[in-house]
Amino acid sequence: MLVQVPDVLSAKEVAALRGLIDAGEWVDGNVTSGAQAASAKRNEQLRDGTSAGREAGAFVLDALQRSPTFLSAALPHKVYPPLFNRYAGGQRFGNHVDNAIRPLPGSDQRIRTDVSATLFLSDADSYEGGELLIDDTYGTHAVKLPAGHMVVYPSSSLHRVAPVTRGVRVASFFWVQSMVRDDGARTLLYELDRSIQSLYQRHPEEEAVVELTGVYHNLIRRWADI
């Protein structure tokens, strides 16, 4: 399931975040790559473990908790600390699939990557190219969103970033271990949640809203893997 998540950050918040990370230390993006990805990846990444990186990551995590669309689509159990990358001068990231398991920095714990996320931090008209291209059974989806908007999609997807031929593409990226690992089940729950919210907005006193909400939570109880 590919879901666009609007307005994770306001324009003011994007500017504040960019001010923080643009002044940070940027290194070769392959510091977090597996062997396969390293051969296809050409970008820069904000050095992990710096004060700027930690502060910026916490900034994004706080925003995620305020996003009902993200919470409904991802059903997060654990979120990998957000990272930041940038592409310019023809840099790109070729076809790859994200690693299934990632160690959490500074601990002996690991996270299963069920959902991948890209939060766009550059105005879409400030650079050319740089589309996130995601393949699924329905074809290839090209995603290039306004600054402050995000896309989430299954981490099992084959995907790539098209070359940036003008300007600079800056984004935050991270992975989510969902409470519901199966993408098909998450899709059904997301669609059910959207329907319940729509019904509630139109008929807040409707008894079916309570009944469907009970069905939703009972399905989570059945499928949750925590």
Numbered residues of the known binding site: 96, 98, 159, 169
User: How many angstroms separate the CA atoms of 155 and 158, rounded?
Assistant: 8
Residues 169 and 146: beta-carbon distance below 8 Å: no
Residue ranges of the annotated binding site for 2-oxoglutarate are: 169
Residues 6+ apart with CB under 8 A from 208: 199
User: How many angstroms separate the CA atoms of 63 and 149, rounded?
Assistant: 11
φ/ψ region of 33 (left if φ > 0, alpha if ψ in -120 to 50, else beta) reads beta
User: How many angstroms separate the CA atoms of 83 and 45, rounded?
Assistant: 8
Residues 115 and 175: beta-carbon distance below 8 Å: yes
Residues in the chain, overall count: 226
Residue ranges of the annotated binding site for Fe cation are: 96, 98, 159
User: How many angstroms separate the CA atoms of 164 and 88, rounded?
Assistant: 5
DSSP character string of 51-88: HHHHHHHHHHHHHHTT-HHHHHHH-EEEEPPPEEEEEE
